Every structure is written in C-alpha cells, then in structure tokens.
Amino acid sequence: MNVPLLDLKAQYQTIKEEINKALLKVAESQYFILGPEVQKLEETIAKAIGAKKAVGVSSGTDALLIALMALDIKPGDEVIVPTYSFFATAGVVARMNAIPVFVDIDPVTFNIDPAKIEEKISGKTKAIIPVHLYGQSADMKPIMEIAKKHNLQVIEDGAQAITAQYKDGSYVGTIGDIGCFSFFPSKNLGGFGDGGMVVTMDEELGEKLRILRVHGGKPKYYHKIIGGNFRLDAIQAAVLNVKFPHLKDWSEGRRKNAGLYTQAFIESGLAEAEGITEFDDNNKVLLPKAVYKENGIREYHIYNQYVIRVNKRDELKAFLKENDIATEIYYPVPFHKQECFNGLESSKDDYPVADFAAAHSLALPVYPELSGEQIEYVVEKIKEFLK
Ligand SMILES: *Cc1c(COP(=O)(O)O)cnc(C)c1O
C-alpha cells in the first residue's frame, strides 16, 4: 500500500470543475492584481474567524514581515519566538535587523512554553510571536497576560492553523495584535502557489497593513511610510474562494484521521490512553493531543500535522519509506542550532525540550482523503518496527 504525505491531486479531483471555472474567469477578466477576488477572500476570512480586518498578502512569510513593519519593529529590538518552528518565524525578525530571542517549547504541544517567556524579556523586547504549531493554538491566555504586563505586541504565527480555535473559542489570529496565515499548498487551506493573509481586530492597524502591502503609498505614489510589494494574486484568491467553503470538512477529516491514529496506537499497545507518557520506553510512541480546556470546552486543533515522538526516529522513517509510507520531520534543527543564528546571545542557552523534539518527532500522513485502511497500515508497520 502506498501512503503519501499529502495527496493534493485527490483534493483537486473533488473540486476540479469549480476550480477550473474560477481560473478561467480570472483569465477572461485579465484582472490579476488584487481586485474583487482578493476582496471577497478577505471578507470571507475576516467574517469566518471574527477579525475586524483581513489583508491578503503574497505569502505566510510576508504576512509575518508586514506585521513586524506595521508594528514598527526597529533594528536592535528584541522579538521573542519559540526556538522550534518553521524558519520564517525567526527569519523575518532577523530580516528587520531586529534580534530573535528564543524560548523553549512545551513538551506536549511543541508550542512556546509561556512559563519560560518572562526570563527572556529585556528592556529591548518589543514583541512575541507565538506559533500555533501543527494546527494547535498556543496557550494564548498566559502569553497575552505577559504581553500586557510588559507592554509587548503579539503577532500570532497561524500559518499552520487557519480556523483553529483556542480553548475560549477565539479563533487563532484574532487574539494578539496581528494574526498571520499562509496559503502554501500543504497548509489546510492551500492555494496554487504562494499566498498569505494578515488579520487584526484593530481597524487602524488594518489600514496600515493595507497601505504597507502596496509600497506604503496612499494615495498611490505618495509615501508617508515605506512598504513593499506584498500583494496576493487574484488567481490565488480565486482558487482560495472556491476552497474556503470546504475547509471545515477538510479540517474535520484531519481531526477524524488524527482520532483514528490515536485509537489505533492505543489499541496496539504502543501508546497510553492519555497520549502522554514519560519517554523512557523504546517501544512506545508519544501522541499529539488537544490539551487546552476551559469550562469543559476543548480547543479546536486542525491537525495540519499529526506528529508523534519516537526513539530510533530516523531508522523508523527509513523503514516506513521502504514500505511506501512517506513521513517528514518538522523540524530537524531548532533555531538555536541554526548556523545563521550562531552569533545570537540566545543561541547559547539550553533548550532541552526543543532538542528532544528535533531528535524524536515524526509527522505521519493525516490529510483528509487518507483512508482508514491506510491509517491501519501505517500503525501496523510502526508496530512491526518497534516490536
Ligand atoms: C508555512 C509557514 C510559514 C511561512 O509560510 P509561507 O507561505 O510558506 O511563506 C511561517 N510559519 C510557519 C509556522 C509555517 O508553517
């Protein structure tokens, strides 16, 4: 049995006619830059997640970059980021000539550990970028309290988590000052190329983001501020407008598959019921889990990735590959170990949880079109390897 990490062709087959029609419509209109499709997508997403303003941009990375620009992050300012994320989270900070300051992650969720943030705050700290890794909200309540106490801005990196919800029901991206999303094809809502979005609850900030997106000019050719070309293409917006109504079903499909994995791992004796054990056993796997709960309400995890932790990870990955099962490591090198960040003060600190995650984590295929048989096959093969 072949189990790819993602099967975008299968998804395309289910919406092919609608997508092709939308693409043709853009071709006929020859209207490529911003315009009605982009506006429609912005309005749809703002409404769906309860944001005041949404601004379509050129990628998830540019969403983070334009957010830092809008919040006036200056050279030498410090910005707190988890040390375990996709490179862009820290890369954008360095590109602003600001200084990324790393914080270790929570051992269960892999999200920034709020208890370790305050010790990293200095007089130069201006912002925190929590990441909602794998589609699971970071623990925003303590993060927002810390931000308020120290007068810091919060940029949410929701690139993997569009429409995920925190335990109080808030959609990620609407809790901090600015929320950032990516439409990279492998995200839950993926375009036919690069794209992204920034959202905010602050009208004024929304207007500033809109101006920064077109080089900072308003009116056109008159520049009070310096922005860049951060525009979302009409063609991407047209595709995303077709896809967005399906997003809920796709996320539900991923959640269902995550549940099937978890159940199969527990039934096979490879994991404890609650999913979290001390990691002392060569023959066990640690499972991901939705953990944030309040008044009986659980967070809404959208499982952009289903990531287990396991000993002999690299050998397991190779064994699964031999059996036609694709997996991926998100991420093999935390920021504090990246060569380009060698010179940073905070690279010298210890991050045992992130180091552990980098050495043990393995993402299994969890895309919505995956079948129950494929999931059983994956768990069976993992069991075969571990026993
Ligand atoms: C994908 C991703 C980004 C960057 O998004 P692009 O659209 O690829 O630029 C940023 N942060 C995280 C956590 C991501 O997963």
Q: Tell me, using a 6 A CB cutoff, whether residue 232 lines ligand 1.
A: no
Cα(191)–Cα(163) distance, integer angstroms: 16
Give the Å distance between the CA of 194 and the centre of ligand 1: 10
Please state, in angstroms and rounded to a whole number, the distance separating the CA atoms of residues 143 and 149: 10
112 vs 33: CA distance, rounded Å = 36
Residues counted in the chain:
387
Confidence grade of residue 282 (pLDDT, cut at 50, 70, 90): low
Residue pair 75/98 in contact (Cβ under 8 Å)? The answer is yes
Q: Is 157 in the pocket of ligand 1 (CB under 6 A)?
A: yes
To test the ligand 1 pocket, which listed residue (83, 86, 129) has its Cβ within 8 A of the most ligand atoms?
A: 86
pLDDT band at 289 (very low <50, low <70, confident <90, very high): confident
- DSSP conformation letters of 109-157: T-SB-GGGTGGG--TTEEEE--B-GGG----HHHHHHHHHHTT-EEEEE
The CA 136 to ligand 1 mean position distance, Å, reads 14
Place of tokens 């990516």: 182
Summarize the confidence of residues 226-250 as an average pLDDT: 98
Alpha-carbon Rg for the chain, nearest whole angstrom, is: 21
Ligand 1 pocket test: pick from 105, 157, 328 the residue with the most ligand atoms within 8 Å of its Cβ: 157
Mean pLDDT for the stretch of residues 291-299:
77
Helix residue ranges per DSSP H, the chain: 8-29, 36-49, 60-70, 88-95, 140-149, 203-213, 234-243, 247-267, 313-322, 352-360, 372-386
Query: Topology of 8-245 in CATH?
Result: Aspartate Aminotransferase; domain 2 (3.40.640)
- Burial letters for 219-250: b for 16+ Cβ neighbours within 10 Å, e otherwise? eeeeeeeebbebbbbbbbbbbbbbbbebbeeb
- As a whole number, mean pLDDT of residues 360-365 equals 97
Residue 111 Cβ inside 6 Å of ligand 1? The answer reads no
| DSSP-based three-state secondary structure for 202 | coil
Within 8 A by CB and 6+ apart from 201, the residues are 51, 52, 174
Beta strands 196-200 and 178-182 are antiparallel
pLDDT at position 300: 95
- pLDDT score for 229: 98
For the packed helices 203-213 and 60-70, what is the interaxial angle rounded to 10 degrees? 120
The stretch 39-51 carries a mean pLDDT of 98
89 lines ligand 1 (CB under 6 A): yes
DSSP state of 332: S
**Which CATH number does 247-386 carry?**
3.90.1150.10
Give the number of other Cβ atoms within 10 Å of residue 149's Cβ: 10
Per-residue confidence at 274, pLDDT binned at 50, 70, 90? low
Please give the residue that has the higher pLDDT: either 274 or 167: 167
For the chain, give the percent of residues with pLDDT over 90. Answer: 91
- Region 274-288: mean pLDDT is 69
pLDDT of residue 279: 58
The DSSP-derived string for 71-93 is TT--TT-EEEEESSS-THHHHHH
Q: Where in the chain is the domain with CATH 3.40.640.10?
A: 8-245
Determine whether the shortest distance from the Cβ of 196 to ligand 1 is under 6 A: yes
At residue 296 the predicted structure's pLDDT band, cuts being 50, 70 and 90, is: confident
Per-residue pLDDT, 104: 98
Å from CA of 60 to ligand 1 middle:
5
Say whether pLDDT at 42 is over 60: yes
In terms of phi and psi (left: phi > 0; alpha: psi -120 to 50; beta: otherwise), the region of 76 is: left
Among 163, 93, 123, 103, smallest CA distance to 303 is for 163
- Block residue for tokens 């120290």: 150
Condensed to tens digits (0 to 9), the pLDDT of residues 105-128 reads 998 899 999 999 999 999 999 999
Query: What backbone torsions phi and psi does residue 63 show, to the nearest 5 degrees?
Result: -60, -45
CA dist 222 and 225 (Å) reads: 9
CA of 85 to the centre of ligand 1 (A): 9
Is 86 touching ligand 1 by the criterion CB < 6 Å? yes
For residue 283, give the H/E element and its range. none
Is 260 within 8 Å of 372 (Cβ atoms)?
Answer: yes
**What confidence tier does 357 reach under pLDDT thresholds 50, 70, 90?**
very high
Query: Chain centroid to CA 44: how far?
Result: 20
Mean of per-residue pLDDT scores for the chain: 95
pLDDT at 276 over 80: no
Of 55, 51, 68, nearest to 200 by C-alpha is 51
- 121 φ/ψ sector (left φ>0, alpha ψ -120 to 50, else beta): beta
Q: How far, in Å, is the centroid of ligand 1 from the Cα of 335?
A: 15
Q: Residue 337's closest CA among 324, 318, 327, 350?
A: 350
pLDDT in tens, 301-333: 999 999 999 989 999 999 999 999 999 999 999
Give the pLDDT confidence score for residue 246 in this predicted structure. 98
Task: Give the amino acid at 313.
Answer: R
